[in-house]
Amino acid sequence: MDKIWYKKTARNWREALPLGNGLMGVMVYGSSKKERLCFNDGTLWSGYPKDYNSAESFENLEKVRSLIFEGKNSEADALCEDKLKGFYSETFLPLGDVLLTFGKTDKHILSRSLDLSTGIHTVQSNGFTSELFSSYPDKVTVYQVKADKRFSVKIKAKSKLRHSVGTGANELCLYGTAPDYAAPDYLRTELFPIKYNEKKGMAFCLCAQAFTNGTITNGKHSLKIKNATELTIYFATQTGFHGFDKMPNTDVKAVMQKCKSKLNRVEKNYNKLKKRHIADFSKLYKQQSISFHKDVDMPADALLDSVKNGGDDKSLCELLYNYGKYMIISGSREGGQPLNLQGIWNHAVRPPWSSNYTVNINTQMNYWGASRAGLSECIEPLVQMVYEALQNGRKTAEVNYGCRGFACNHNVDIWRKTPPVQGDANYMFAPLCGVWLANEIYAHYKNGFLSAYQDKIKEIVTESARFANDFLVLHDGQYVVCPSASPENVYMHNGKKCKLDYASAFDMGLVKQVFRNALEICEDENLKAEITEKQEKLYPFENSANGICEWHKVYDTPEKGHRHFSPLYAFYPAKIIGYYADREKTEWVKQLFHYRTENARQYIGWSAAWGICLAARLRESETAQKIIRSMLCHSVFKNLFCVHPPFYFQIDGNLGFVAGINEMLLTEENGIVELLPALPKNFSESGEVQDMVVNGAKISFAWKNGTVVSVSADKPVRILKKHISDNAAQENTVRLVASLSE
């Protein structure tokens, strides 16, 4: 299923539909009477480069460690939160809205639809059709209206930032400046959460040029068009951003002129631009596909309601999977910024968690499914962001922690902030988040088609491993991470809630994975020798009554169904604990996984997506199906955006869902592929996968009644015989094996 459609215009932003070209994002309400287009530019953020590194952090690091080793964990928490802190990240901002008020058109639409395979949004009413697309090849967004009868339209623009609007001939420009600082939305007591007083915030501009067979007149702040049957508007955006380490341009006139020049260079031929856009977009979208053989022609809100009322969910799963692919293509393209908490779509000046890059899970999850879904081309912005964070993170490693390599804590912004924020130590203190980012990128590199970025990836992995190597502490004959948190969770110790310990399963999993990666790609022989020596003495994973031990020893945890599955990182997304190779530890993983899911009390999109991934790798098909259904029933808005309570959009749930379905259909361990490892019964009747990417090979297969009946690959692959019919059609590139040892 490749189309999302509705019978009614969106009533609010969470019902609108997203478009984007990796540089700008647009949310469209879909109306033939009062259309609203909400624009974002991926580089429009508050602030400017700021240095929050602190020598005071390093001065107190050993004190925190000593307190932890002495069992004075609550004191360690307090000292960390006081002395090892930094400041908050900056905020991804909305640019502005374009409002089109039509006269002499039918206000009752027949449909508004988004074709996921072409990136074309269409609105139809009686005698009226509009189309909208955002072109990566031409770096513009284009809106066209055609009508049987003559219509009029008034075009206005506004922004939630400080702005002005001007017109000229067939042109309308919205321009202004971003704030110097925008406080996170969770700081409820800030007296002045939005600050412009320094006047260092970047300038921004949105320009629109209108072409019509009617007449155009410009008002002071709007364009008016009369007696038209055709209208085409071309949009471009520009900001004063020109580098993570450079002060932004605050000159509004200069930025506006650059925006106008960009728009003037665009060929004003709608059909040619549309053709180029579709060719570019569809090429990426069609590089890989899945089908559950259950197409349903039903409005998306009705489809969602049918699942909530007990209906079959295969159609919605396929649509949501394709929607995730669509979002990756629309929001992450070479030369742009990577997908943040909301992708490239945000309408609030103080969005949830600043709509930043939260790198203790969320940013990584945005890309988990990308390369396997044939979208390696869309990963370049993530590689570039981490490479830039590495430049700042070297200073953080040295100044804050006295280490070589690069450190990065849990909030990153466009200025590539790497020190901690302020707040609770269980999220604020997270210097190994750079290690997770490096591990994520290296996993995609190994999966294939990122060789063009090999040098950067090699440096990222090497420098993250160097930091992990230096940050380890020898304690009782074993190397441990200290201080060490399990993201956002707490435990009870001496009657108090504590946040920091040493050797959390999460942190030790990160270190073990980056050491393995570095030994594969690093060229620094001295570093490799140090890593090899320390590997044998790394603190091991332990078991407890509830499964794998979250911290260095067993503690009681007040929140039994905690939303993070961080202690299971070594199993998924990492590959330190193998399902077949480490059966005992896999049982520990399974035990904690069930403990968390059976006690969960919140419906959180990204947590559900991680749960699907874990259930699939655990080969628990019905558990995966149970989580999928819960996610569809409780964690999806009407426009199919995923929900974070209470009513926030976070894109990681959508994109993590892609990874979960991938893992459900295909998994890999030690170079051997397993097909249909966790296919739920209601998906088993029939289906097919085309060109799913695994370790550089593109694998295609089809199944009936839960058994693979055909399989092919464009390169030699080894595939487990499990779930494959004895008389399955297969190409000579496929070698079936009975176990991982073959």
Whole-angstrom Cα distance, residue 212 to residue 220?
A: 20
pLDDT-derived band at 107 (thresholds 50, 70, 90) equals: confident
Contacts of 365 (CB under 8 A, 6+ apart): 606, 609, 610, 652, 655, 656, 659
SS3 state of residue 224: strand
CA–CA–CA angle 114, 120, 122 (5° rounding): 65
Contacts of 348 (CB under 8 A, 6+ apart): 94, 160, 185, 355
Report the largest interatomic distance among the alpha carbons of the chain, rounded to a whole angstrom: 83
Whole-angstrom Cα distance, residue 437 to residue 663?
A: 20
Say if residue 666's pLDDT is above 90. Answer: yes
Q: Which of 623, 622, 653 is nearest to 636 (CA)?
A: 653
Going by the DSSP 8-state scheme, the letter that residue 451 receives in this structure is G
pLDDT tens-digit map of 390-430? 999 999 999 999 999 999 999 999 999 999 999 999 999 99
Whole-angstrom Cα distance, residue 509 to residue 486?
A: 11
The Cβ-side half-sphere exposure at 238, using a 13 Å CA radius, reads 23
pLDDT-derived band at 740 (thresholds 50, 70, 90) equals: confident
* DSSP conformation letters of 572-612: TTS-SS-TTTTHHHHHHHHHHHHHHHHH-----HHHHHHHH
501 touches 443 (CB < 8 A): no
Q: Give the model's pLDDT for residue 295.
A: 85
Whole-angstrom Cα distance, residue 367 to residue 373?
A: 10
Which of 1.50.10.10, 1.10.3720.10, 1.10.760.10, 3.40.430.10 would CATH assign to domain 53-86+356-540? 1.50.10.10
Q: Give the model's pLDDT for residue 255.
A: 98
Residue spans of beta strands (DSSP E) within 42-119: 96-103, 109-115
Contacts of 363 (CB under 8 A, 6+ apart): 338, 339, 340, 357, 382, 412, 437, 652
Say if residue 683's pLDDT is above 80. Answer: yes
Number of H helices, E strands in the chain: 17, 35
pLDDT-derived band at 17 (thresholds 50, 70, 90) equals: very high
b vs e for 656-683, b when ≥16 Cβ sit within 10 Å of the residue's Cβ?
bbbbbbbbbbbbbbeebbbbbbbbbebb
Mean pLDDT of 323-331: 98
Tokens describing residue 372: 């396997």
Whole-angstrom Cα distance, residue 237 to residue 623?
A: 45
Whole-angstrom Cα distance, residue 659 to residue 663?
A: 6
Say if residue 717's pLDDT is above 90. Answer: yes
658 touches 595 (CB < 8 A): no
pLDDT tens-digit map of 170-208? 999 999 999 999 999 999 988 999 999 999 999 999 999
Mean pLDDT of 73-93: 98
163 touches 203 (CB < 8 A): no
pLDDT tens-digit map of 585-642? 999 999 999 999 999 988 999 999 999 999 999 999 999 999 999 999 999 999 999 9
Distances (CA, A) of 71 to 101, 498, 502: 66, 11, 10
pLDDT-derived band at 41 (thresholds 50, 70, 90) equals: very high
SS3 state of residue 178: coil
Q: Which of 88, 13, 85 is nearest to 46 (CA)?
A: 88
Contacts of 269 (CB under 8 A, 6+ apart): none
Say if residue 741's pLDDT is above 90. Answer: no
Whole-angstrom Cα distance, residue 332 to residue 24?
A: 10
What does DSSP say about strands 717-720 and 672-675: parallel, antiparallel, or unpaired?
Answer: parallel
The Cβ of residue 122 has, within 10 Å, a number of other Cβ atoms equal to 18
Query: Prior bond to 352 cis, omega within 30?
Result: no
Which of 2.70.98.50, 1.10.10.10, 3.40.50.720, 2.102.10.10 would CATH assign to domain 3-46+93-285? 2.70.98.50
**How far apart are the two ends of the chain, measured CA to CA in Å?**
38
Mean pLDDT of 360-366: 97
* DSSP conformation letters of 38-57: EEEETT-BSS-------HHH
Q: Give the model's pLDDT for residue 143.
A: 98
Domain boundaries of the chain, sorted by first residue: 3-46+93-285, 53-86+356-540
CA–CA–CA angle 27, 29, 34 (5° rounding): 130
Mean pLDDT of 431-460: 97
Q: At residue 224, what is the residue type? A: K
286 touches 121 (CB < 8 A): no
Distance from the Cα of residue 390 to its chain's centroid: 20
pLDDT-derived band at 663 (thresholds 50, 70, 90) equals: very high
Tokens describing residue 646: 């209470």
pLDDT tens-digit map of 465-508? 999 999 999 999 999 999 999 999 999 999 999 999 999 999 99
Which residue has 């009062």 as its token pair? 34
SS3 state of residue 449: coil
Q: Give the model's pLDDT for residue 56.
A: 98
Distances (CA, A) of 465 to 76, 308, 591, 672: 26, 46, 30, 27
Q: Give the model's pLDDT for residue 360.
A: 97
pLDDT tens-digit map of 137-179? 999 999 999 999 999 999 999 999 999 999 998 999 999 999 9
236 touches 211 (CB < 8 A): no
Tokens describing residue 508: 């030790």
Mean pLDDT of 273-301: 96
pLDDT-derived band at 742 (thresholds 50, 70, 90) equals: confident
Whole-angstrom Cα distance, residue 515 to residue 363?
A: 22
Whole-angstrom Cα distance, residue 467 to residue 485?
A: 17
The Cβ-side half-sphere exposure at 586, using a 13 Å CA radius, reads 15
- The mean predicted confidence, pLDDT, of the chain is 97
